[in-house]
Amino acid sequence: MIFSRLFFIYLFLPACLLTYAAARGTKHKNTVLIIFSLIFYAWGEPAFVLLMLLSAFVNYACGLLIEKYRGGKGDSAATAFAVVFDILMLGVFKYSGFVVENINALFSCSIPVPDIRLPIGISFYTFQTLSYIIDCHWEKVDTQKSFKNYLLYLALFPQLVAGPIVRYSTIEKEIENRSVSVSDVAYGFNRIALGLGKKVLLANQLSIIVDNTLGGIENATVVGAWYGAIAYAMQIYFDFSGYSDIAIGLGRLFGFHFDENFRHPFVCKDITEFWQRWHISLSTFFRDYLLYVPIFGKRRKYGGLFLVWLCTGIWHGASWNFVLWGLYYGLFVFIEMLIGKKRMKKIPLVIRHIYSKAVIIVGFGIFYFEKLSNLGIFFRKIVGYGSTQLIGLQDRISLTNNMYLLITAVICTFPLIEGFKKLSEKNFAAKSAVNSAAALCSAALLLLSSIMLVDATTNPFLYFRF
């Protein structure tokens, strides 16, 4: 099921909220959420519900074994088994075809390439199970004794299929003890409307530009290649941050406080800062669980860094462009580490902004082209190699027709809402005005998004495929 469908907005969600409100006590409310979460997932992936339940049971059982044999060999064995199980499950479903294809190409073999359908959300919920098991082993969280409560954590539908990656420690206490205030409800609906607007009014419209430019990269001009990459960078941002906004808003309606996943990444001044603002739940996951893993028996600062970025790329998909994409960003983070924070700050701010945006835009070009041949064409186009035109007639027409969309998209990458909130913090009248304006804007976004969705074809969130 997709958040940006009228069925979800006006049927599934109201039915869930009404049933949830009618349930007495947290235990019954949790039961309601589990049932609706399983229905939500089974709507598009009925066969893979069993896979998710298997993952939940194995990790729940291993968590109990870690608790039972705390500090002993049983603890380590249960942790190792769970980690290997989770990684193997993700590897089989997501990477087996990629691995066999490359073995065939490298060794001239003819091994049948497995055609395994990727379960939606497996990358996200697998990382949640890994974080739970490792945190149990490190004694950062208490082992969950109730399978029902653990299943709620894993299957909670707001974040199930496309994140953010919610760690057990984030909602550990709220599973059994939470409440929902009027301000929570207002915040939740405002956040849902904002996310829906990002997806429907911005990301979906930007996708048309991307398809018309990068989709025909062979015929693109220099300006067209840059134009398409810029539009794609903003499309990815509004699509994924829009999903995260909806997930966070939905969580708040049920009393859960998820961490932020995006903090206006395009205002960054360097690549290190970009990744402190972009897909925060993934970057912090790798930082906390992989960066300091010993390599050849020793913690290696730069080796750990490139291992993190290699895995960041691979996590996004079974394709060489994602590997290159991860290492590409790792290289720039490495360079910035060598330069150092103090010397980076001495570089004029304008130059830092130009540098960071250019790196980000090219990075999303790498992200877009799964075929390396097309990626090579993209690189040639952006530097003008072999291109007969700087800008074409279609580029001019598209830029003119989409000028308001592009300006709006750029403006919306800035922290406008936070700015208004800060201005109104010390003034009650101003705060009331801002809250009223937020409610009106949310209603307008919901109405406009609903109108746009009436005749819309299925347009799932981009991160569903990761």
Residue 37 has pLDDT above 70, yes or no: yes
Q: What is the pTM of this model?
A: 0.92
Question: At 463, is the pLDDT very low, low, confident or very high (cuts 50, 70, 90)?
Answer: low
Residues 444 and 316 in one domain: yes
Span of 40-49, 68-77, 208-217 with lowest mean pLDDT: 40-49
Burial 367-390, CB ≥16 within 10 A → b, else e: bbbeeeebbebbeebbeeeebeee
- The percent of residues above 70 in pLDDT, for the chain, comes to 95
Question: At 387, is the pLDDT very low, low, confident or very high (cuts 50, 70, 90)?
Answer: low
Residues 91 and 20 in one domain: yes
Structurally, the chain folds into a number of domains equal to 2
Residues 99 and 203 in one domain: no
Q: What is the pLDDT of residue 243?
A: 93
**Position 172 in a domain:** yes
**Position 326 in a domain:** yes
Taking only the tens place, the pLDDT of each residue in 171-210 is: 999 999 999 999 999 999 999 999 999 999 999 999 999 9
Q: What is the pLDDT of residue 434?
A: 75
| Domain end residue (candidates: 178, 210, 245) | 178
Q: What is the pLDDT of residue 465?
A: 64
Residues 172 and 301 in one domain: no
| Domain end residue (candidates: 158, 178, 198) | 178
**Structural domain containing residue 114:** 6-178
Residues 109 and 199 in one domain: no
Q: What is the pLDDT of residue 46?
A: 84
Task: Please give the C-alpha separations between residue 54 and each of 48, 57, 136, 178, 464, in angstroms, as whole numbers.
Answer: 10, 5, 19, 27, 21
For the chain, the three-class secondary structure string (H helix, E strand, C coil) is: CCCCCHHHHHHHHHHHHHHHHHCCHHHHHHHHHHHHHHHHHHCCCCCCHHHHHHHHHHHHHHHHHHHHCCCCHHHHHHHHHHHHHHHHHHHHHHHHHHHHHHHHHHHCCCCCCCCCCCCCCHHHHHHHHHHHHHHHHCCCCCCCCCHHHHHHHHHCHHHCCCCCCCCHHHHCCCCCCCCCCHHHHHHHHHHHHHHHHHHHHHHHHHHHHHHHHHHHHHHCCHHHHHHHHHHHHHHHHHHHHHHHHHHHHHHHHCCCCCCCCCCCHHHCCCHHHHHHHCCHHHHHHHHHHCCCCCECCECCHHHHHHHHHHHHHHHHCCCHHHHHHHHHHHHHHHHHHHHCHHHHHHCCHHHHHHHHHHHHHHHHHHHHCCCHHHHHHHHHHHCCCCCCCCCCHHHHHHHHHCHHHHHHHHHHCCCHHHHHHHHHCCCHHHHHHHHHHHHHHHHHHHHHHHHHHCCCCCCCCHHHHC
| Domain end residue (candidates: 117, 144, 178) | 178
pLDDT averaged over every residue in the chain: 91
Q: What is the mean pLDDT of residues 242-269?
A: 95
Q: What is the pLDDT of residue 297?
A: 67
Q: What is the pLDDT of residue 464?
A: 62
Residues 237 and 145 in one domain: no
Q: List residues with catalytic annotation.
A: 316
Residue 442 has pLDDT above 80, yes or no: yes
Taking only the tens place, the pLDDT of each residue in 125-154 is: 999 999 999 999 999 999 999 999 999 999
- pLDDT top residue among 387 and 270: 270
Residues 76 and 196 in one domain: no
- pLDDT top residue among 346 and 110: 346
Residues 137 and 218 in one domain: no
Q: What is the pLDDT of residue 226?
A: 96
Question: At 339, is the pLDDT very low, low, confident or very high (cuts 50, 70, 90)?
Answer: very high
Q: What is the mean pLDDT of residues 349-372?
A: 95
Residues 161 and 188 in one domain: no
- Distance between CA 347 and CA 405 in Å, rounded? 32
Q: What is the mean pLDDT of residues 9-26?
A: 94
Residue 302 has pLDDT above 70, yes or no: yes
Q: What is the pLDDT of residue 282?
A: 93
Residue 27 has pLDDT above 70, yes or no: yes
Q: What is the pLDDT of residue 106?
A: 87
Residues 277 and 419 in one domain: yes
Residue 348 has pLDDT above 70, yes or no: yes
Residues 157 and 208 in one domain: no
Residue 422 has pLDDT above 90, yes or no: no
Q: What is the mean pLDDT of residues 39-55?
A: 89
Q: What is the pLDDT of residue 466?
A: 59
Residues 214 and 124 in one domain: no
Question: At 457, is the pLDDT very low, low, confident or very high (cuts 50, 70, 90)?
Answer: low
Token pair for 272: 């290190």
- Distance between CA 312 and CA 333 in Å, rounded? 13
Q: What is the mean pLDDT of residues 22-43?
A: 94
Residue 459 has pLDDT above 80, yes or no: no
**Position 1 in a domain:** no
Span of 11-15, 40-44, 190-194, 423-427 with lowest mean pLDDT: 423-427
Cα–Cα–Cα angle for 75, 79, 84, rounded to 5 degrees: 150
Question: At 295, is the pLDDT very low, low, confident or very high (cuts 50, 70, 90)?
Answer: low
